[in-house]
Amino acid sequence: MAMRAKLFFVMAVALFWSASVFSQTKELPVGAFENGNNLFGVCSDDHHFNQAYCKGYVVGVADAIMVVNSQIANMGSMPSACLPKDHLVAEQVRDVVVQYLAAHPETRHEAAAGNALKALLAAFPCK
């Protein structure tokens, strides 16, 4: 269960990136829960927990990219959640996504990244 929670967290983080992050641009978004140095350290460590976290993170990012590409192809744009810049912690993001999944069993068969996006859009709508 903890690994699934981490995977949901990773996908949620990946969904925060705008579609421009996945384009040819070299700039990364300001603010993130994880940075490249941390990810490299975890992925370079042979401990099974770190390897599982690394795999979950990169698979979550790949899932998010597929959802972003699908949304853009189907709708011509990507909806965005407006996450608070101050005091947002990973556990809060996780809780939002898990609560959404618990409340919507009818959509759990759909892509996890899409479910995470819907949860974050509902919890953090742009004004």
pLDDT along the chain (127 residues), means of 10: 53 45 44 80 92 89 80 74 80 90 94 86 87
Amino acid 99: pLDDT: 95
CA 18, CA 64: separation in Å to the nearest integer? 11
Alpha carbon of residue 25 to chain centroid:
20
Report the SS3 class of residue 33.
coil
Domain ranges within the chain, ordered by starting residue: 2-16+34-123
Q: At what angle do helices 90-103 and 112-123 cross, to 10 degrees?
A: 110
Amino acid 16: pLDDT: 47
Amino acid 22: pLDDT: 39
CA 90, CA 63: separation in Å to the nearest integer? 19
Amino acid 105: pLDDT: 95
Amino acid 21: pLDDT: 40
pTM of full prediction above 0.75: no
